[in-house]
Amino acid sequence: MRSAEPAPAAATPWHIATPSRPGRLRGVGMAGFRARGTDLVDLGVVPYPAVTVALDVGDGPLTVGDTTGRQQSGSVVVGLAPSGVRGHGRGIECLQLRLSPVVAHAVLGASAELGGTVVSLGDLWGRDAARIEERLHAARSWDDRFAIADAALARRHQAGPAVDPEVAFVWEQMVRNRGGVRVDQLAAEAGWSRKRLWSRFRSQIGLTPKRAARLVRFDHAAHRLAAGHTAALVAAEAGYVDQSHLHRDILAFAGVTPTAVAAAPWLTVDDVAWAAPAYLSPS
């Protein structure tokens, strides 16, 4: 296990731990978060091209809500491209997993149902969610917690439904090209009609191919903005028509301006917690 502090430390309310060795599954990232002190943590979630699972292992309850007013406490799953999601609580300690949607389809047993939503892990895993939470609470170290989660994911992945190879191929190409792809061309390369790709991709990944590609491109742009690059430069290198196009896309996904997303606290931990974005890799 590696423990690390972001720089500057004051920019984030978290102590962060990361695994010291790769897990069994490609397309999975893990990080442990423990809140500093007892102050209320209230953070807006910037959408990622990954399904996020937050396993609550602390004494203070983690609560996650969205723009519908619905709130979930305890271990939760945040689907792709959620709108207005915020996490809050005191004394939070959680193990966060980021799953490629190709992996999430098998591990969670759901895809289309997770598009832009927040659900309780118990709704998807039933009693197994409570058993894993108990084991994580009892674990003595983050290394033990990572091992427990890794074994659970591998077991469920093996037993779960696999996505079509054509769908996995299209997702891989989207990630590899940072969203700068033509869906019709990918459908042709996969040997499918556009209609068939649209239907199968939507049912297995949770988004339409077009919106998934936009999400991947948005993610790249948001991280470049957070790294201090100008909106004009990011728009040009990310393939947006112009700066206004970038502005509209960021507003559509994050609900804020490029200036605001560049300073979003949710992104300040990424270089530490997710230095190697394994969760974007295909399984």
Asked if residue 170 and residue 154 are part of one domain, the reply reads no
Write down the mean pLDDT value for the chain: 87
Last residue of a domain, one of 161, 193, 214: 161
Residue of 86 and 10 predicted with greater confidence: 86
Asked if residue 204 and residue 124 are part of one domain, the reply reads no
Query: Which helix or strand (DSSP H or E) is residue 253 part of?
Result: helix 243-254
CATH number, domain of 225, equals 1.10.10.60
Last residue of a domain, one of 161, 179, 196: 161
Asked if residue 173 and residue 100 are part of one domain, the reply reads no
Residue 10 pLDDT > 50: no
Q: Rounded mean pLDDT of 101-130?
A: 86
Q: For residue 134, give the amino acid letter.
A: E
Instruction: Report the largest interatomic distance among the alpha carbons of the chain, rounded to a whole angstrom.
Output: 55
Q: 3-state DSSP: the chain helix, strand, coil percent, rounded to 5?
A: 45, 15, 35
Residue 7 pLDDT > 70: no
Would you call 125 exposed, middle or buried from its count of C-beta atoms within 10 A (0-12, 13-18, 19+)? buried
Asked if residue 153 and residue 41 are part of one domain, the reply reads yes
Asked if residue 93 and residue 232 are part of one domain, the reply reads no
| Domain assignment of residue 277, yes or no | no
CATH number, domain of 132, equals 2.60.120.10
Asked if residue 142 and residue 29 are part of one domain, the reply reads yes
Q: How many domains does the chain have?
A: 2
DSSP string covering 18-78: E-SS--SSTTEEEEEEEESSSSPEEEEPPP-SSEEEEEE-SSSPPEEE-TTS-EEESSEEE
* C-beta separation of 46 from 266 below 8 A: yes
Asked if residue 174 and residue 135 are part of one domain, the reply reads no
| Domain assignment of residue 281, yes or no | no
Displacement of CA 73 from its chain's centroid (Å): 18
Identify the CA nearest to 207 among candidates 232, 170, 178. Answer: 170
| Domain assignment of residue 233, yes or no | yes
Cα–Cα distance for residue pair 254/48, rounded to 1 Å:
10
pLDDT tens string 140-150:
999 999 999 99
Residue 52 pLDDT class (50, 70, 90 cuts)? very high
Residue 281 pLDDT class (50, 70, 90 cuts)? low
Q: For residue 123, give the amino acid letter.
A: D
Asked if residue 70 and residue 35 are part of one domain, the reply reads yes
Domain housing 198: 165-265
pLDDT tens string 210-258:
999 999 999 999 999 999 999 999 999 999 999 999 999 999 999 889 9
Asked if residue 173 and residue 156 are part of one domain, the reply reads no
